[in-house]
Amino acid sequence: MEHQELLSGFIRLHVLHHATEGDLYGQWMIEELARHGYRVSPGTLYPMLHAMERKGYLQSRTERAGRSHRRVYRATAFGVEALAFAQDKIRELFREVASGDNAT
């Protein structure tokens, strides 16, 4: 994916947003991100989900899905707090970027 380094933060916020709304699993998240123009492979997303869990933003559990099992993620209280903090920063950044204000 072009500009991967810049977009990875948006992807994490997108994951956190959906994880605060309810349960999600990796393949669903890959499809959801694709609807928004992000092409994310399992080799990128799953390590990202695991890292977000290690850092305390997500928690997971294993559920049976037919004959197999899948890991289902949900935001923790820390993740909900982090998303609220990020939303304020996103609003501030959007106002600045959308206005074209390049002053420092």
pLDDT of res. 103: 57
Average pLDDT of the chain, as a whole number:
91
- Judge contact between 84 and 75, C-beta under 8 A: no
For the record, the structure tokens of 85 come out as: 């903090």
Q: Residues 6 or more apart from 23 whose CB is under 8 A from it? A: 72, 73, 74
In-domain check, residue 104: no
**If you average pLDDT over residues 3-27, what whole number do you get?**
90
In-domain check, residue 60: yes
| pLDDT tens by residue, 80-91 | 999 999 999 999
25: helix, strand or coil? strand
Is pLDDT of 3 > 80?
A: no
Domain extent at residue 60: 4-99
In-domain check, residue 82: yes
pLDDT band (50, 70, 90) for residue 102: low
Kindly report the CATH number assigned to the domain that includes residue 20.
1.10.10.10
pLDDT of res. 2: 67
Considering all CA atoms of the chain, what is the largest pairwise distance in Å, rounded to the nearest integer? 57
Number of domains in the chain: 1
